[in-house]
Amino acid sequence: MTCCAVIAEYNPMHRGHLYHIAQTKARLGQDAYLAAVMSGHTVQRGDFPILSKTARTRMALEAGFDLVFELPAPYACATAERFARGAAGIIATLGIVTHLSFGSETGDLEALEALSRRPLEEIPKGMPNNVLALEYLRALREKAPSVVPLAVKRIGGPHDGPRGSASAIRKRILAAGRVPWDTPFMDIWREEIRAGRVPVSLVRQERAVLSHLRRMTPLDFWALPDVGAGGLAQRLHHAAGQARSLEELYHLAKTKRYTMARIRRCVLAAFLGLTEEMTKTPPHLRLLGIGKRGGELLSCIEAPIISRPAAHKEALATEAAVTDQFALCMPEPEAVGLEWRSGVVRYR
């Protein structure tokens, strides 16, 4: 049995992602199973996703995935290293994955393998998909050495380019208030819009975030994941006292040394109570979706899987707290407890 994992955010899923899936199937065969490890209600850029994990799971199932599992918030809103290690830990625990397919700017697996064995400071910067690819390779060697990596060369513009990327689609939706006509899965988008669930924006909680950060002490900032031993904790504490908006806060804390994504992650982690300690234990196996052949694949997994959230409230307490804040950032806010009301999505 061939089972290929894909680590993703799908924020949102677009044509580049569909190309990646098609290329993966072309290389491994149309009968290969696909399992996604997908970010839940936080993403690596330090933000909430524009769509709920339920809607993004539906998209993944329609795109051909057989199973979708959640990458928990402390790993999803994290550095590339922790992001990759958390996802690789899930892949290893599943025990059925034979391959891991990922996109990269080069698509040259041999070169990526060589780079992944070099010290971090020697790695060329400015290529986000390559950076993640290197961390996937390192994480696989440590946690799932039997899994075969598969690199697919990206097509189109850069990762955060002005056309076709997830970033570009999000910006157009947030700016214009409507989804571009050529965006895939328009049926799901229309349903989510009618229900008042998109677009999700952290700006709707802006003053709550600023209020929370203003109550934090310098020691509180020191304890945040991704802060490090430099001066970022002091910069964040100072910026929190001066900023009147999230964008102003980010720019007040920003320097050449600290990337915007790192600052945004620290801010979101502070607001949501995410700590580095939360990544010290193996991530849970939370099943988000089952595709047409998902039952066949599920029967091969021996590890315990969470499929009924309400029956695992202690294990999912952090995710529930994150989801409650995420729900307040919808155009029509949801009541508390959305995590417990969201079951496994099944392919229609």
**CB-CB contact of 346 with 290 (8 Å):** yes
Topology classification of domain 3-197+279-346: Rossmann fold (3.40.50)
For the chain, residues classed under CATH 3.40.50.620 are 3-197+279-346
Residues 6+ positions from 245 with CB-CB distance below 8 Å: 206, 210
Nearest to residue 284, comparing CAs of 339, 207, 338?
A: 339
Residues 6+ positions from 62 with CB-CB distance below 8 Å: 185, 188, 347
Task: Compute the average pLDDT of residues 141-151.
Answer: 97
Is the pLDDT reported for residue 282 higher than 50? yes
Q: Rounded mean pLDDT of the chain?
A: 93
Residue type, 332: E
pLDDT of residue 122: 59
- Cα Rg, the chain, nearest whole Å: 19
pLDDT of residue 230: 82
Is the pLDDT reported for residue 260 higher than 80? yes
Task: Compute the average pLDDT of residues 145-165.
Answer: 76
Q: Which two tokens stand for residue 183?
A: 């965006």
Task: Compute the average pLDDT of residues 139-161.
Answer: 84
Is the pLDDT reported for residue 158 higher than 70? no
pLDDT of residue 164: 65
Is the pLDDT reported for residue 160 higher than 60? no
pLDDT of residue 162: 45
Q: What is the pTM of this model?
A: 0.95
Q: Where are the beta strands (DSSP E) in the chain?
A: 3-8, 33-39, 67-71, 99-104, 148-153, 287-290, 345-346
Task: Compute the average pLDDT of residues 295-313.
Answer: 96
